[in-house]
Structure 1
Amino acid sequence: MLNIGDVFSNLVGLFLLIAVGYAAVKLQVLPVSSTKLLSNLLMQITLPATILVSLVRPYDAAFIRDGVLIAILGTVLYLLYGLLSLPACRLFHVGEGRRGAWIFSAMFSNNGFMGFPVALALFQEEGLALAVFLGIPFNLLAYTLGAKLMCMDHEAEDSSPPPSWRSILLTSVNGAILLGLVMYVAQIPIPDVLSTPLTHLSNITTPLSMLVIGMNLTEGRVGDLLRDRDVFSVSFLRLVFFPVLTWAILRLLPISNPLVVGVTLIIMAMPSPAISAILAESYHSDKEFASRSVFLSSLLCLISIPLISLLL
């Protein structure tokens, strides 16, 4: 069982970094437009380095078995969330033009920008290594099924086509996962000359991801957010209903490693993913709603995640 004090302390530390990113934009130290460059640095360089460092470890067949299990769990849970979000969308009377974005924001969690750093903070490198496996179903589903959901809101003639499988699979993050697994199975160590710079780059990932989230939050308007009931309903599903449902499902399964349960539950309790606003813009959905969902759920998870962790 996680210590609630440790969970809260780690989350407060991460959210102080978010506050730094928020203040940097508000005080005009950095322009909000720089989030694109910093996000690229994160996704193309530092996060792959973090993944590689976490996966290259002494061989343990149980780790591979747990990794495959957690990837299967992630796939099933994401699809289940999507199926349940369809009737919930009607139940909460979500308006046309944002239903796809609403379902996407409820269905997927922020596993990369926030989930990986939180998993590292709470479960150390072994927890992060397992959390990496949850990135596989996320990448495959968010950019295919997720793109289709966004297209529901506005089937315009100039809508961008769904991304190709090549663009989905050939990313730095997936490349680091594949390389790390190959090196793990073959027990190929990272050469000393590369180990130090990779470790330094890995250490940048957590503060950089939190700074980027804080910078993105500056685009939300509190007044508009408070008047948008759909943002509150999707945050309830994302932060409360689906994590509690996940906990109930995990309790029914004969999972021997408690770390698998802990990592799965915490990652699935993350707020709406930052990519939702980007996809909403690309496929002509409601970008403002998607941004508000990221904004509110990212703030409320400071309360929800410690409470969800009490279930472990």
Structure 2
Amino acid sequence: MDGSIAVLAGQIVSMFLIMAVGFILVRSKLVDDHGVSQLSNVVMYVANPAAIVVSFIRPFDYTELANGLWSIAISLLVLVVTSVLAQIAFRKKNVVSQAAVIFSNSGFIGIPLVQSVLGIDYVFYLSMVLVAYNIYVWTYGVYLVSGDKKQASLTSALKNPVVISVCVGLVIYLTQLALPDMVVTAITDIANLNTGLAMLVLGAMLAGADIRSLLRDRKLYKASLLRLVVAPLVTIALLCAFGFLPVNVRLVTLIAYAAPTGVIVAMFADKFGKDYRYAAGVVSVSTLLSLLTMPPIMALALALF
């Protein structure tokens, strides 16, 4: 147990060091906002999808597939329960805070963290978690922040690069399609870029936030506490009810929902005319605080699972 937590803590520290490099690149003006946006697109549309597809290049196993389907169901359950929790905590007066509590950075941070701590094979289960997450984001999440049911679209969810990558991966997995070695090597090499690029982008985004002024906002601390401590504890409680699943499969779901507030919350706030500054602040501060919260949360889970 201690060894697993040491690996997790060490990996989180390493990821934050890479974030520091991204922060320095922006502050030293070696990379500008346009460059950050382009790097973000590379992560979202190339590196993340590659990591997902690679995780599906494996021998077919019915138990594995069943566990993956359970991961989808548990993910939806966690999201619904967390949504109720967020609504109780903030009511209707602050939809951005509600979204900040519900939607973690499960892809941007979850994929590289699972990839590094548990191995590329377990990205398979995280991919299943992300299917439920992305459908929920682009339906309920859009409705929550916009306040307009017409804005919510299942079509947008299904067009998400994560969902498309999972569909491609499932075709490969279910048909046991044999890809040429050179293709597998190329996809794997791109997947290996994922952790570094994702952390560079997060660090660069932090460089653009006025953290000093944001630290005076009490709502930010409340949202961060709920996102980083309460929501993961609720997730652990729910996962304890699924003791028939392997420990590492449950840990994948926990990593996804113990992660800080997702960048998508700031994107939605900007798109739908909400408080983008506050949303970006929650993303930034919760990301920094996750360095302190994730190791003990995982230690508790390992003790209970």
Please report the TM-score for the alignment, with normalisation by the length of structure 2.
0.94
- Structure 2 CA distance, aligned partners of 1:32 and 1:163? 28
Partner amino acid for 2:231?
F
Tell me how far apart the structure 1 counterparts of residues 35 and 217 of structure 2 sit (CA, whole Å). Answer: 28
Of 148, 151, 155, the match for 2:143: 148
Letter in 2 for 1:286: D
Letter in 2 for 1:36: S
User: Hey, what's the Cα distance between the residues in 2 that align with 1:163 and 1:30?
Assistant: 34
Structure 2 distance, partners of 1:136, 1:251, is 22
Offset at residue 145 of structure 1 (A):
0.9
1: CA distance between counterparts of 2:211 and 2:85? 29
Query: Which residue number in structure 2 is paired with residue 124 of structure 1?
Result: 119
Q: For 2:137 and 2:36, locate their aligned partners in 1 and report how far apart those are by CA, in whole Å.
A: 21
Q: Secondary structure at the match of 2:192?
A: helix
Contact 2:214 2:281 in 1 (8 A): yes
Identity among equivalent pairs (%):
31
Hey, what's the Cα distance between the residues in 1 that align with 2:192 and 2:116? 12
User: Aligned equivalents of 2:7 and 2:39: distance in 1?
Assistant: 29
Check the 8 A contact 1:45/1:201 in 2, yes or no: yes
> Counterpart of 2:86 in 1: which secondary structure?
helix
Tell me which residue corresponds to 1:104.
99
The count of aligned residue pairs is: 300
2:45 aligned residue: 44
SS class of match (2:29): coil
- For 1:18, the equivalent position in structure 2 comes to 19
Tell me if the contact between 2:13 and 2:291 (Cα under 8 Å) persists in the aligned partners: yes
Contact 2:235 2:254 in 1 (8 A): yes
Superposed displacement of residue 256, structure 1: 3.1
Could you give the per-residue CA deviations for residues 116-151 of structure 1, whole angstroms, max 9, x where no partner exists?
Answer: 111111111122111111111111111111111112
Q: Distance in 2 between matches of 1:106 and 1:6?
A: 27
| Aligned 8 A contact 2:232 2:257 in 1 | yes
* Cα-to-partner distance string for 1:245-271 (whole Å, 9 max, x where unaligned): 211222233323111211111211000
Partner residue, 2:88: 87
Report the counterpart of residue 210 of structure 2 in structure 1.
221
- Per-residue CA deviations over 1:24-44 (Å, capped at 9, x if unaligned) read 000111002322211111111
Q: 1:135 aligns with which of 130, 137, 151?
A: 130
Identify the residue that residue 296 of structure 1 maps to in structure 2: 285
Q: Please say if 1:6 is aligned against 2:7.
A: yes
Q: Distance in 1 between matches of 2:96 and 2:245?
A: 36
Whole-Å Cα distance in 2 between the matches of residues 9 and 189 of structure 1? 36
Contact 1:271 1:298 in 2 (8 A): yes
In structure 2, distance between residues paired with 1:4 and 1:18: 21
Change (3 A) 1:54 1:287: same
Aligned to 1:306: 295
Q: Which runs of no fewer than 5 residues in structure 2 stay unpaired? A: none
Contact 1:150–1:284 (8 Å) recurs in 2: no
Alignment of 1:178-257 (within 5 A): 178-257=167-246
Distance in 2 (CA, whole Å) between partners of 1:167 and 1:249 is: 29
Kindly indicate whether residue 53 of structure 2 is the aligned counterpart of residue 58 of structure 1. Answer: no
| Pair 1:167 & 2:162 matched | no
Indicate conservation of the 8 Å contact 2:67/2:245, yes or no: no
Deviation at 1:170, TM superposition (A): 2.1
Pairwise CA RMSD: 1.7
Q: Which amino acid aligns with 1:33?
A: H
**Over 4 Å off, 4+ runs:** none
Deviations 1:218-261 (A, max 9, x none): 12212222110011000000100111121122223332311121
Q: CA deviation at 1:76?
A: 0.9
* In 2, Cα distance between equivalents of 1:200 and 1:256: 31
**Unaligned stretches of 5+ in structure 1?**
none
Report deviation, 1:161: 5.8
- Cα distance, 1:82–1:117 mapped onto 2, change above 3 Å: same
